């Protein structure tokens, strides 16, 4: 058992977290005369290390996920989901979201396609919630920072929120609040041709390039903010604003996250820096969820496809779920850390 634990720790620290890379960058910076114990040097080390780590992990994960996705084109996915009903369909739609490495704005066109194909609106909303919120990439990246317990728990509660949110929207009879042009668009089922292994490899690599281009500046900005929080903002200030002693920290973190626009990869370095400053894990996860699931640009896009009542119900359900999840993690943080 001890050997298995040591192997896992090596995998988490040296493969996922790439701590060897952080040490290497620190040694290089020290060699060229940069003091990494000072704010500027520490910020430079954090920025270089986190940027390289995120893009390496991101590229490997997107390649793997996209290769798997090549076996399940949208037409086939619609047919599979169409065979199921009720909460089973919601669960499958939420799970489908975990293998779609999209930000919220990128998920909306696929949500519209599923809706126009005749899938129940609750099922399509389960997909829309889980797609930007929970994916295999977030699982691996969260695991590299917070460990397996928090990463797995985050994925589980994200899926539960997606299933519950979609189910409630279905129960509330929100079907009629989808814009008519979306429901009337119809869908053309065109079977994708069989792909060779080489074709799938090419497709996966193209998805890596497209995704990296799409998230590049979000990651850079996120790492920059993380470096600033990590090395320049005193822990006392952060603790006073969103620390464990502030009973409204979860609500505040969610509200701050919503106007921002980024995907899960851009929020990771900010979360890492906040965690190092002692912010509660529930507060951090609420911020990440607010950014990824309820970003203002994606809500503006969604408002073109659904009527105000459905949009308000969607935002209300997801926001309430995020806040509850945040308080849950803060209350039981001792179960996930250490």
Contacts of 168 (CB under 8 A, 6+ apart): 122, 313, 317
Q: Is 184 exposed, middle or buried (0-12, 13-18, 19+ CB in 10 A)?
A: exposed
Asked whether the predicted pLDDT for residue 109 surpasses 70, the reply is no
182-232: pLDDT as tens digits: 666 554 444 555 778 888 899 889 888 887 887 788 778 878 887 887 777
For residue 119, what pLDDT band results from cuts at 50, 70 and 90? Answer: confident
Query: Model confidence over 78-99: pLDDT tens digits?
Result: 677 767 778 888 888 888 877 7
258, containing H or E segment: none
pLDDT classification of 25: cutoffs 50, 70, 90: very high
pLDDT in tens, 236-273: 777 677 777 788 889 988 888 776 656 667 787 888 88
Reported in sequence order, the residue ranges of the chain that DSSP labels E, i.e. its strands, are: none
Query: Which one, of 185, 186, 203, 183, lies nearest residue 194 by Cα?
Result: 203
Q: Cβ distance 61 to 136 under 8 Å?
A: yes
pTM given for the model: 0.74
Domain boundaries, the chain: 2-178+198-336
Distance of CA 167 to the CA centre of its chain: 21
pLDDT exceeds cutoff 50 at 29: yes
């Amino acid at each position: 058992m001890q050997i298995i634990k040591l192997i896992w720790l090596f995998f988490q620290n040296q493969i996922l977290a790439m701590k060897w890379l952080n040490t290497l960058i620190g040694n290089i910076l020290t060699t060229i005369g940069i003091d990494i114990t000072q704010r500027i040097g520490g910020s430079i080390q954090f920025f270089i290390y986190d940027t390289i780590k995120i893009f390496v992990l991101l590229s490997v994960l997107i390649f793997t996920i996209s290769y798997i996705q090549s076996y399940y084109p949208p037409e086939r996915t619609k047919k599979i989901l169409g065979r199921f009903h009720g909460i089973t369909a919601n669960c499958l739609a939420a799970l489908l979201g975990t293998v779609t490495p999209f930000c919220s704005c990128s998920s909306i066109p696929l949500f519209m396609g599923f809706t126009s194909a005749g899938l129940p609106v609750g099922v399509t909303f389960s997909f829309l919630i889980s797609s930007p919120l929970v994916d295999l990439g977030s699982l691996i990246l969260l695991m590299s920072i917070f460990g397996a317990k928090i990463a797995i728990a985050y994925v589980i509660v994200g899926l539960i929120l997606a299933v519950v949110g979609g189910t409630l929207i279905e129960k509330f009879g929100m079907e009629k609040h989808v814009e008519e042009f979306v429901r009337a668009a119809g869908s053309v089922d065109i079977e994708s041709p069989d792909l060779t292994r080489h074709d799938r490899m090419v497709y996966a690599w193209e998805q890596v390039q497209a995704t990296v281009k799409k998230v590049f500046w979000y990651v850079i900005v996120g790492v920059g903010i993380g470096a600033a929080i990590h090395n320049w903002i005193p822990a006392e200030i952060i603790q006073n604003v969103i620390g464990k002693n502030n009973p409204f920290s979860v609500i505040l973190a969610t509200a701050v996250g919503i106007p921002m626009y980024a995907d899960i990869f851009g929020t990771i370095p900010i979360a890492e820096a906040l965690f190092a400053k002692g912010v509660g894990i529930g507060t951090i996860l609420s911020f990440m969820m607010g950014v990824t699931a309820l970003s203002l640009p994606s809500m503006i896009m969604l408002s073109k496809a659904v009527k105000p009542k459905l949009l308000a119900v969607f935002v209300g359900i997801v926001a309430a779920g995020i806040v509850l999840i945040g308080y849950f993690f803060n209350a039981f943080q001792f179960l996930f850390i250490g």
